[in-house]
Amino acid sequence: GENVEQHPSTLSVQEGDSAVIKCTYSDSASNYFPWYKQELGKGPQLIIDIRSNVGEKKDQRIAVTLNKTAKHFSLHITETQPEDSAVYFCAAAVMEYGNKLVFGAGTILRVKS
Amino acid sequence: ETGVTQSPTHLIKTRGQQVTLRCSSQSGHNTVSWYQQALGQGPQFIFQYYREEENGRGNFPPRFSGLQFPNYSSELNVNALELDDSALYLCASSLSVMNTEAFFGQGTRLTVV
């Protein structure tokens, strides 16, 4: 089955700096890669996703890149703000088999002001 | 707000008891998935329901069971509770069974003592 590894487990950045979180996956059939942000006491919130027919996708300060050959994808947050502090999860799925997500272990992002 | 609501928000049960958790999916969404999130870990897929039928199951024992109703709301039932069942249980709804994003509720925090 699919296995998703996520690094780093914790990341501290200064406000205004960029943050990068990386994930690798094992199943070459996976074709959908969402990123979720989870704040304390809340459920995961979808912040951006990418499908395997695209190499990069941007949404304001957030971008995701995908390298299908190397089986890895990354989340980039620019101009970080204190409200970006949360736990971020990457996930992978085969969309045609139903959106059954396999998650990474998560990255705790702390943005220091 | 995703429009996915779960009840109750918190629950304490004794080992060996049974528990039922409930989820109302986002309006128009016919697919519901359940995940277990242990402390400090990423969510793990339990099972998925599509139009009242189970559509895939993760690596969870049969004492984890579910239902989906004609209005697409769903229940997760766990029998013979064990201490390791203590976790945040998340429900995610999708517009359809494939090719669509998953939106999570706030979760139910289950503590087994």
Nearby residues of A79 by Cβ (< 8 Å), 6 or more positions away: A16, A18, A61
Nearest Cα of chain B lies from the Cα of A29 at a distance, in angstroms, of: 14
Q: What is the pLDDT of residues A77-107, one digit of tens each?
A: 999 999 999 999 999 999 888 879 999 999 9
Q: What is the pLDDT of residues A30-46, one digit of tens each?
A: 999 999 999 998 999 99
The values of phi and psi at residue A7, to 5°, are -145, 145
Give the amino acid at B98. M
| Residue of B48, B99, B109 to mutate for A, most A C-beta atoms under 10 A | B99
Give the pLDDT confidence score for residue A54 in this predicted structure: 87
CA distance B11 to B9: 7
Q: How many CB pairs under 8 A join A and B?
A: 72
Q: Which two tokens stand for residue A27?
A: 């199943």
